[in-house]
């Protein structure tokens, strides 16, 4: 069994550690966090260093980036991979993953989520608690779908999309990269990249810089 080194000991880090504990694949779970040494840990898990110390723990370890921000998560995962660090993928045992689903490195699939047949999920994604991803969906790298999100069949989310809590997308819709969908929004038509949309039906309220 390997050690799991989690980058980030905030709220998302807590969820990642709890998921990893449930999977029970790692002999030890530790954190690296910017608040070290003031932040010493929680629930029996220790913060053992700053994120920049990651190479000190490389032997016998897998790494996981527990940072909710899609761009920052991508930067850290890219750095780890460039330095030949092994990246974990964590799928909670209470989730349901269908036939011929692919899940990329560094992706987190949390409790009670459902991912249906022939879906493709990229690297560094977050499929949060009780989210539903139906058949033949495509999630690009570093997508984050929040708790209770509903994606109907054949939806495409390009890289860096953030779907807010309890938002929904009808079948066949394409959402452009780095777009933010607000909590509770209903997306009924294609959305361009790098915008924020809210409401039912979802409408653009700003362009993201």
Measured distance CA(35)–CA(46) in Å, rounded:
12
Active-site annotation holds for 144: no
pTM exceeding 0.95 = yes
Q: In angstroms, how far is the first alpha carbon of the chain from the final one?
A: 43
Q: Per-residue pLDDT for 61 more than 90? A: yes
Instruction: Report the percent of the chain where pLDDT is more than 90.
Output: 99
Q: Per-residue pLDDT for 209 more than 90? A: no
Decide: helix, strand or coil at residue 16. Answer: helix
- Ordered domains of the chain (ranges, CATH): 2-88 (3.40.50.20), 91-201 (2.160.10.10)
Task: Summarize pLDDT for 130-158 with one digit per residue, the tens.
Answer: 999 999 999 999 999 999 999 999 999 99
Query: Is there a contact between 122 and 107 (Cβ–Cβ < 8 Å)?
Result: yes
Task: Summarize pLDDT for 24-36 with one digit per residue, the tens.
Answer: 999 999 999 999 9
Of 135, 144, 158, 207, the catalytic one is 135
**Confidence at residue 158, expressed as pLDDT on a 0 to 100 scale:** 98
The Cα angle at residue 152 between residues 166 and 101, in degrees rounded to 5:
105
Measured distance CA(71)–CA(84) in Å, rounded:
20
Q: Per-residue pLDDT for 46 more than 90? A: yes
Cβ-based neighbour number of residue 19 at 10 Å: 22
The pair of three-digit structure tokens given for residue 123, joined into one six-digit string = 């690297």
Query: Is there a contact between 43 and 19 (Cβ–Cβ < 8 Å)?
Result: no
Task: Summarize pLDDT for 109-121 with one digit per residue, the tens.
Answer: 999 999 999 999 9
* Average of per-residue pLDDT values in the chain: 98
Report residue 1's pLDDT band, with 50, 70 and 90 as the boundaries: confident
């Amino acid at each position: 069994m390997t050690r799991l080194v989690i980058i980030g000991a905030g709220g998302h880090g807590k969820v990642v550690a709890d998921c990893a504990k449930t999977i029970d694949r790692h002999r030890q779970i530790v954190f690296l966090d910017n608040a070290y040494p003031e932040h010493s840990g929680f629930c029996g898990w220790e913060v053992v260093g700053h994120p920049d110390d990651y190479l000190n723990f490389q032997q016998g370890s897998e790494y996981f980036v527990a940072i909710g921000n899609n761009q920052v998560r991508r930067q850290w995962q890219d750095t780890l991979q460039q330095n030949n660090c092994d990246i974990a993928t964590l799928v909670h045992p209470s989730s349901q993953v269908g036939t011929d689903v692919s899940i990329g490195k560094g992706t987190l699939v949390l409790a009670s989520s459902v991912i249906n047949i022939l879906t493709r999920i990229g690297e560094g994604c977050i499929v949060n608690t009780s989210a539903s991803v139906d058949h033949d969906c495509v999630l690009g790298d570093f997508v984050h779908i929040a708790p209770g999100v509903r994606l109907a069949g054949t939806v495409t989310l390009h890289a860096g999309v953030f779907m807010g809590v309890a938002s929904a997308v009808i079948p066949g819709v394409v959402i452009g990269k780095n777009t933010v969908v607000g909590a509770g929004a209903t997306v009924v038509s294609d959305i361009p990249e790098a915008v924020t949309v809210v409401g039912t039906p979802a409408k653009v309220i700003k362009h993201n810089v």
